[in-house]
Copies of this chain bind each other. A is one copy, B any other.
Amino acid sequence: MVDIATRVYNHKWKIDPIVRSLIDTDFYKLLMCQSVFRNRPTTSVTFSLINRSTRIRLAELIDEGELREQLDHARSLTLARGESTWLRGNTFYGKRQMFRPDFMAFLEGLRLPAYHLEKHDGQYLLTFEGPWPQVMLWEIPALAILMELRSRAVLRDMGRFELQVLYARAMTRLWEKIEALRGIGDLRIADFGTRRRHSFLWQDWAVQAMIEGLGERFTGTSNCLIAMRRDIEAIGTNAHELPMVYAALAEGDDRLRRAPYDVLADWHEEHDGNLRIILPDTYGTPGFLEHAPDWLAGWTGIRIDSGDPAEGAETAIRWWQSRGEDPRQKLVIFSDGLDVDKIIELHGRFHGRVKVSFGWGTLLTNDFRGLVAGDGLAPFSLVCKAVAADGRPTVKLSDNPAKATGPADEIARYRRVFDVQAQVAQPVTV
């Protein structure tokens, strides 16, 4: 039987919206947003979309009108009552009322601010400028919209069964990954794939497959909307944008040098337990750890997000030992460019030595490599970063020189201030 009402209701959509909820975003964006709302509410920040894979000419693939419709739709969203209730009432990492009433009031009144869009050399220049707590919430929806519009563009001319088989192939591939991971008894793995997902529905499918296939070993998703709908844990801590903006705002080299620790001091005040995770690589992991205050060694763990991951974990283990901490009590979260083989290898090397956990991103939610002609659905490296704060440029170095961003002279200054030695370049694919 055809459900006539559903059909008629569906006819009323002018577009098929990609982002349909303000909480279709990563949990850590909300955590960071609360921190920023408290500590730096008036800082003006510019976020900019950057396609590191210049061979993918997004402005030729994606119609500008469609892109504007999707961005405009995202701007029309407000926090739904049930979403607010879920954020206010949920227990995150065992803690209730993670979000303070003043922050919730801010979020309930929020709409995403204006965007600026133009085309240049086959790419879209998409920027968001305004108060940090508002513009920062554009990052994930902007990425998700671009990623999914690109998927739609590539899939547009395919037949109905061709499409079904495409998804059948992708499902089979993902399930085989999950079957391979079942072999690891004490695995702990979460979905970190919102930002570069193939589509919302595909991420939702991937999460459900992980729930059925991995059971307790699947610890949750970074996506708040999916966490709410599938009744699983929302996962996340903090990201590079905090030290990048704090650093940009710092006056002089001494304050610059202290900026990454100022971020974590603010964070320390607010959070404990599983939220006390160090992200050490913004300006080079070895220097960050060497100069870190002792209280940081007491934190729960570390997230390894660039450079050679095994080397990063070994560096962290040596650091904890040098500070009199027992690495076996510490959590190491690997979250950079993971796929099954790497997960199995890293788990094999580090389980028993530290508590090992994985944040699996693009190759969980967007592995369509080789599934269409010309490999048109292969994931690519699209990011949306804070590029300026109160008119001053931001800089990120990371543990991979290929990921460094910012003006060349500022990169040089940061490398000097943070005492960054020679780094080994890693290919950046996703």
A162 contact set on B, CB distance < 8 A: 175, 212-213
* Closest B residue to A175 using CB positions: B165
A159 contact set on B, CB distance < 8 A: 212
A73 CB, nearest partner CB in chain B, Å: 21
The answer, yes or no, to whether A161 is at the interface (CB within 8 Å) is yes
Stretch at the interface among A166-174, A196-204, A331-339, A388-396: A166-174
Stretch at the interface among A3-11, A31-39, A138-146, A285-293: A3-11
The answer, yes or no, to whether A160 is at the interface (CB within 8 Å) is yes
A228 CB, nearest partner CB in chain B, Å: 20
A165 CA to B9 CA, complexed, in Å = 31
* Closest B residue to A170 using CB positions: B168
A175 CA to B163 CA, complexed, in Å = 11
Check B9 against A5 for contact (C-beta < 8 Å). no
A208 contact set on B, CB distance < 8 A: 161
A391 CB, nearest partner CB in chain B, Å: 50
A8 CB, nearest partner CB in chain B, Å: 10
A368 CB, nearest partner CB in chain B, Å: 13
Cβ < 8 Å to B, chain A residues 5-19? 5-6, 9
From the candidates B3, B5, B6, B172, name the one contacting A168 in the complex (CB within 8 A): B172
A6 contact set on B, CB distance < 8 A: 1, 3
A383 contact set on B, CB distance < 8 A: none
A164 CB, nearest partner CB in chain B, Å: 6
A164 contact set on B, CB distance < 8 A: 171
A169 contact set on B, CB distance < 8 A: 168, 172
A213 contact set on B, CB distance < 8 A: 161-162
* Closest B residue to A6 using CB positions: B1
A161 contact set on B, CB distance < 8 A: 175, 208-209, 212-213
* Closest B residue to A211 using CB positions: B161
A213 CA to B164 CA, complexed, in Å = 12
A55 CA to B213 CA, complexed, in Å = 31
Cβ < 8 Å to B, chain A residues 91-126? none
Contact with B along A306-319 (1 / 0, CB 8 A): 00000000000000
Check B175 against A168 for contact (C-beta < 8 Å). yes
A1 contact set on B, CB distance < 8 A: 3, 5-6, 9
A162 CB, nearest partner CB in chain B, Å: 7
A113 CB, nearest partner CB in chain B, Å: 34
A235 CB, nearest partner CB in chain B, Å: 20
From the candidates B5, B160, B165, B212, name the one contacting A160 in the complex (CB within 8 A): B212
From the candidates B5, B9, B165, B209, name the one contacting A172 in the complex (CB within 8 A): B165
Cβ < 8 Å to B, chain A residues 185-214? 208-209, 212-213
* Closest B residue to A1 using CB positions: B6
A167 contact set on B, CB distance < 8 A: 168
* Closest B residue to A176 using CB positions: B165
A175 CA to B169 CA, complexed, in Å = 10
Check B172 against A172 for contact (C-beta < 8 Å). yes
Cβ < 8 Å to B, chain A residues 147-168? 159-162, 164-165, 167-168
A161 CA to B213 CA, complexed, in Å = 8
Residues of A within 8 A of B (CB): 1, 3, 5-6, 9, 159-162, 164-165, 167-169, 171-172, 175, 208-209, 212-213
In order of increasing CB-CB distance, the 6 nearest A-B pairs are: A168-B168, A165-B175, A3-B3, A168-B171, A161-B212, A1-B6
Beyond A1-B5, A168-B175, 17 additional contacts (C-beta under 8 Å) are A1-B3, A1-B9, A3-B3, A159-B212, A161-B209, A161-B212, A161-B213, A162-B175, A162-B212, A162-B213, A164-B171, A165-B175, A165-B209, A168-B169, A168-B171, A168-B172, A169-B172
* Cβ contacts A to B, 23 pairs, < 8 Å: A1-B5, A1-B6, A1-B9, A159-B212, A160-B212, A161-B175, A161-B208, A161-B209, A161-B212, A161-B213, A162-B175, A162-B212, A162-B213, A164-B171, A165-B171, A165-B172, A165-B175, A165-B209, A168-B168, A168-B169, A168-B171, A168-B175, A169-B172
